[in-house]
Amino acid sequence: MVCCLLKKLKGLIRSRSIHVSVVNTGGCNGCDIEILACFTYRYDLEQYGIYYHNNPRKTDVLIVTGPVTEQWKDKLPKLYDKVPEPKAVVAVGSCACSGGIFNQDGGRVGGGAAEFIPVDAEVPGCPPRPDEIVKAVVEVLPTFFRRWEFERGGGDGR
Amino acid sequence: MSFQDFLNHILSREGVRRLLDAHSSKKYTVKPRRFRNFPTIDLEKCVVCGACADACPVGPSDGKPPALEMTDKGPVLHEDRCIRCGLCAEVCPVSAIQVGTLHEEREEVVKPPKPAEIAVDPDLCIGCGRCERVCPSDAIHVIDGTAEVDRESCVLCEACIDACPVAGAIKLLPMDVEELRRCWTKIVDTKRREVGSR
Amino acid sequence: MADKAPRGVTVIDLDTGEEKPISHHVPVGPHHPILKEPLRIKLAIRGEEVVDCKVEMGYCHRGIEKIMEGMPWQKAAFLAERVCGICSHAHNMCFIGAVESVSEGEPARRGLFLRYIVQELDRIQSHLIANAAYFYSIEHETMFVWNMNTRERVLDCIEKITGNRILTGWNVVGGVRLDVDEDTLNEVIEVLEEKVVPDVETYRKIASNDPFIKMRSRGVGVITEDMIRRYRVVGPQARASGVAQDIRTIEPVYPEVGFRPITRDHGDNLDRILVRYDEVLQSVELIERMVEELPRGDHRVEMKVEGGHVVNRTEAPRGELVYDMEISRGGVVKKATIRTPSVPNIRVLEAIAPGAPSVADAVAAYASLDPCVACNERFIVIDRDKDEIVFSGKAREVLRACRSKTS
Ligand code: SF4
The confidence score (pLDDT) of residue C286 equals 92
Q: Is the Cβ–Cβ distance between B127 and B145 less than 8 Å?
A: yes
**8 Å CB contact between C299 and C179:** yes
User: Using 50, 70 and 90 to split pLDDT, how confident is the model at C91?
Assistant: very high
User: Do A67 and A23 touch, CB atoms closer than 8 A?
Assistant: no
Does the pLDDT at position C362 exceed 60? yes
Q: C139 CB contacts (<8 Å, ≥6 apart)?
A: none
Going by pLDDT thresholds of 50, 70 and 90, the confidence category of residue C96 is very high
Mean pLDDT within C123-142: 90
Domain count, chain C: 1
Q: In this complex, do A33 and C83 lie within 8 Å of one another by their Cβ atoms? A: no
Write out C172-186 in H/E/C secondary structure: ECCEECCCCCHHHHH
pLDDT of residue B35: 59
- Which has the minimum average pLDDT: B166-175, C292-301, C380-389? C380-389
Predicted pLDDT of residue B196: 60
Contacts of B78 in chain A (CB under 8 A): 98
pTM above 0.80, yes or no: no
Q: Residue C7 pLDDT more than 60?
A: no
- Cβ neighbors of A131 (< 8 A, separation 6 or more) are A43, B28, B31, B32
Q: pLDDT at position C282, please?
A: 92
Q: Which residues of C touch A36 (CB under 8 A)?
A: 36, 148
Residue C183 maps to a domain:
yes
**DSSP state letter for B31:** P
B5 Cβ contact list (under 8 Å, min separation 6): none
Q: Chain centroid to CA B171: how far?
A: 32
Asked if residue B22 has pLDDT above 80, the reply is no
Report the pLDDT value the prediction gives residue C22, as an integer from 0 to 100. 62
The enclosing domain of C204 has a CATH number of 1.10.645.10
Task: Provide the pLDDT confidence category of residue C227 given band limits of 50, 70 and 90.
Answer: confident
Q: How far apart are CA C159 and CA A127, in angstroms?
A: 13
pLDDT band, very low/low/confident/very high, at C396 (cuts 50, 70, 90)? low
φ, ψ for residue C50 (rounded to 5)? -85, 125
First-last CA distance in chain C: 47
Are the C-beta atoms of residues C83 and C340 closer than 8 Å to each other?
yes
- Global ipTM: 0.87
* CA–CA gap between residue C321 and residue C341 (Å, rounded): 6
Distance from C-alpha of B9 to C-alpha of B17, rounded to nearest angstrom: 9
The helix (run of H) or strand (run of E) holding residue C28 is strand C24-28
pLDDT number for residue B126? 86
Does some domain include residue C395?
no
Name the band, by pLDDT with cuts 50, 70 and 90, for residue B158. Answer: confident
Q: Is the CB of C82 under 6 A from ligand 1?
A: yes
Q: Would you call the peptide bond into C27 cis, given omega within 30 degrees of 0 as the criterion?
A: no
C138 C-beta neighbours (distance < 10 Å), count: 21
Domains in chain B (CATH in brackets) are 3-28+114-196 (3.30.70.20), 35-103 (3.30.70.20)
Task: DSSP for C223-271, please give it.
Answer: PPHHHHHHHT--THHHHTTT----GGGGSSSTGGGT------SS-SHHH
pLDDT at C386 over 80: no
Mean pLDDT of C386-391: 47
Query: Residues of A with CB below 8 A from C373's CB?
Result: 29
pLDDT for C389 equals 44
Is the model's pLDDT at A152 over the cut of 80? no
Is the Cβ–Cβ distance between C209 and C163 less than 8 Å? no
**Are the beta carbons of A106 and C65 closer than 8 angstroms?**
no
Quote the pLDDT of residue B103: 43
CA A65–ligand 1 middle distance (angstroms):
7
Q: Residue C4: its pLDDT value, please?
A: 46
H or E segment to which residue B143 belongs = strand B140-143
- Using alpha carbons only, give the angle C342, C347, C352 rounded to the nearest 5 degrees: 120
CB-nearest to B35 from A100, A105, A129 is A129
Determine, for residues B19 and A8 on separate chains, whether the beta-carbon distance falls below 8 Å.
no
Position C123 confidence tier, pLDDT thresholds 50, 70, 90 = very high
Interval C317-344: pLDDT, tens: 988 888 888 898 888 888 888 888 888 8
Position A139 pLDDT exceeds 60: yes
Q: What is the pLDDT of residue B108?
A: 52
CA separation for the pair C243, B39 (Å, rounded): 47
Least-confidence region, from C109-113, C231-235, C257-261: C231-235
DSSP, residue by residue, C336-396 = EEEE-THHHHHHTHHHHSTT-SSHHHHHHHHHHT---HHHH----EEETTTTEEE-SSSHH
- Note whether C79 and B83 are within 8 A (CB): no
pLDDT band for position B18 (cuts 50, 70, 90): very low
Helices and strands (H and E) in chain B: how many? 7, 8
Which pLDDT value is given to residue B6?
52
Residue B26 has a pLDDT of 32
Give a yes or no: residue C54 inside a domain: no
CA–CA separation, A75 and A73 (whole Å) = 6
Bond before B115 cis per omega within 30 degrees: no
Is the pLDDT score of C262 beyond 70? yes
DSSP structural state of residue C274: H
Please name every residue paired with C199 in a beta bridge, in sequence order, or none if there are none: none
Pairing outcome for strands C333-339 and C319-327 = antiparallel
Sign of CA dihedral C172, C121, A63, C43: positive
Give the pLDDT of residue C274: 92
- Chain B residues inside the 8 Å CB shell of C167: 83
Indicate the helix (H) or strand (E) that contains C53: strand C49-56
CA C169 – CA C115 distance, rounded (Å): 11
User: What integer pLDDT is reported at residue C279 of this predicted model?
Assistant: 92
Backbone angles phi, psi at B112, to 5 degrees: -60, 140
pLDDT tens digits along B88-105 = 887 888 878 877 664 444
Residue ranges of B 19-78 with Cβ closer than 8 A to chain A: 19, 22-23, 25, 28-29, 31-32, 35, 38, 57-61, 63-64, 66, 78
Highest mean pLDDT among A131-135, B57-61, C151-155, C353-357 belongs to: C151-155
Residue C173 domain boundaries: 64-375
Radius of gyration in angstroms for the set of CA atoms belonging to chain A, rounded to a whole number:
16
Burial code of C396-407, b = ≥16 C-beta within 10 A, e = fewer?
eebeeeeeeeee
Percentage of the residues of chain C whose pLDDT score is greater than 90: 18
CB within 8 Å of A68: residues ≥ 6 apart: A25, A26, A76, A99, A109, A110, A111, A112, A113, A115, A116
CATH number, domain A15-149: 3.40.50.12280
pLDDT for res B15: 40
- Tens-digit pLDDT profile for residues A64-83: 998 888 888 888 998 899 88
Q: What is the mean pLDDT of residues A24-52?
A: 86
Across chain A, what does the average pLDDT equal?
A: 84
Which value, to the nearest 10 degrees, does the dihedral of the CA atoms of residues C223, C227, C231, C236 take? 30
Mean pLDDT of chain B: 73
Question: Could you tell me if the CB of A128 is within 6 A of ligand 1?
Answer: no
Q: Rounded CA gap, C395 and C361, in Å? A: 24
Percentage of residues in chain B having pLDDT higher than 70? 73
CA–CA gap between residue C96 and residue C78 (Å, rounded)? 10
pLDDT tens per residue across span C167-222: 888 888 888 887 888 888 898 999 999 989 999 999 999 998 988 888 888 888 88
User: Of A33, A36, A65, A92, which is best to mutate to test ligand 1, by the most ligand atoms within 8 angstroms of its C-beta?
Assistant: A65
A110 lines ligand 1 (CB under 6 A): no
Q: Is the pLDDT of residue C30 over 60?
A: yes
